[in-house]
Amino acid sequence: MATPVSTIPKIRDALRATFRSGLTRPIAWRQHQLYQLARMAQNERELICDALKKDLGKPKTEVLMAEVGCIIERSVKSAEQLPQWAKTEYPDVADWQKPWKPTIYKAPRGTALIISPWNYPMILTFQPLIGAIAAGCTAVLKPSELVPTFSQLLEEIVPKYLDPNTYRVVNGAVPETSKLLELQWDHIFYTGNGRVARIIASAAAKHLTPLTLELGGKSPVIIDSAYDIDLAAKRILWGKCNNAGQICVAPDYVLVQRDKQDELVKAFRKHYNAFFPKGALDSPLFGSIVSDQHHKRLTSLLSRTKGEVVLQGRADAARRRLEPSIVKDVADGDSLLEEELFGPILPIVPVDSFNQAVDFVNARSHPLVLYAFSDNESLKQQLVSETQSGGIVFNDTFQHLAVNELPFAGVGESGYGNQVMKHTYDTFTQLRSSIDMPKEAEPYLAIRYPPHSEEAVKALTAAVYMPIPPSRL
């Protein structure tokens, strides 16, 4: 059920009043909310799995591994590490500035809006919230209307575990989201696509609201011809099959040297048959496409490709099922390279050299992640130096998301702003600089007051004449 639009400003105002009351400031209070979030994920896991099975056909193991377990672990660890994160900092400064007591306070930004997508709705709703809670913010959660069972479940279970005066769920579609975006927020955290991100950024700009945009794009895979092709195929296919390819870090297309293409295709077939001996169409280990619209979009892209379909996935539109398809000899300008696929279709683009693959990637928008399979350290360094992407992962796919200490972020078209654990905490935290000038410093400050003597001018402008070390290329 959609949240009445007329109540949305009242919800925001109530959360702002809670923030101003100081309720969220004590570290112990924040830790309790984080532990409560972990309890919610743990206690309600069966309902969460059932909801995502109904909305997305998600396998239970996948939900427990990639969504529920992550929230439990990161909530608990964030609570444990929060006292260290939130410590006031005293930077090391020059001796003559030490009496000023330079200080960096960790201040919550205020009342946040978190807009999450449908593909991984548990982790992508609550991972930002973990940071908001840890930082001491209040927040509205706006889950996707494309997962209605899950979104309604959140409206029911969140108030049972989290303080309802501090965290609220708003459900609905465009009218409700539009009303949310009319309001002023202290931070907006959006996960989704670039088209909607532009709408959100425009709305935020009216209030100069800071943003985190977690977007996607076409994340490429480059395979060094000297690498183990069979192992590369296994790891790429596994990454592509997660949530039926409906994830922002899914391998979108593969660049491989032309003389290795058929070997790669053979390896993909081998591992597909091993993963799904009876095919993925009816497998409980393979998810469904989110909507009829997305199912039609994917089958249309596949029908228009000029490449050769070498693994033809079966489709069942009535159940929104679509098996993985592998397409070789895909060329620039093909339908499968038009947009982020966000589904179980994997194009193979043959190239004549590693450098040609690098040029192909650089000719396009910066991806959320660049995958590369190589044991050659100089080639790895070349990719680090010559390409841009949110992340760069060598010799695997998807698994970098499991490293709690790594920031997860895009660049350019794939978004901006960091998340995961402390990085999410930092996103919702303002570093508030401070000094406390003692009365006793007045004799040392005398030279700043006009009129300035020649000696005072010399002291005040000394930095202009500081020696610069010699350098040359």
Cβ atoms within 10 Å, residue 156: 11
For 284, which DSSP code? T
The CA-based dihedral angle spanning residues 50, 51, 55, 59, taken in that order and rounded to the nearest 10 degrees: -40
- CA dist 71 → 116, 167, 338, 398, 453 (Å): 15, 16, 34, 17, 63
Catalytic entry in 44, 62, 176, 214: 214
Catalytic entry in 176, 248, 340, 413: 248
- CA dist 125 → 12, 131, 363, 374, 413 (Å): 18, 11, 33, 34, 21
Angle between helices 8-21 and 174-182 (to 10 degrees): 40
What is the distance between the alpha carbons of residues 328 and 347, in angstroms, rounded to a whole number? 6
| SS3 at position 315 | strand
C-beta of residue 16 within 8 angstroms of C-beta of residue 138: yes
Strand 391-394 with 321-322, pairing? unpaired
Q: Is 214 a catalytic residue?
A: yes
Amino acid at 164: P
Strand 219-223 with 369-373, pairing? parallel
- CA dist 185 → 113, 145, 439 (Å): 7, 21, 39
What is the distance between the alpha carbons of residues 171 and 163, in angstroms, rounded to a whole number? 18
> Which sign does the torsion angle of CA 207, 210, 212, 216 carry?
positive
C-beta of residue 372 within 8 angstroms of C-beta of residue 393: yes
| SS3 at position 67 | helix
Side-by-side strand order, sheet with 391-394: 308-311, 325-328, 345-351, 251-257, 219-223, 369-373, 391-394
Which sequence positions are flagged as catalytic? 214, 248
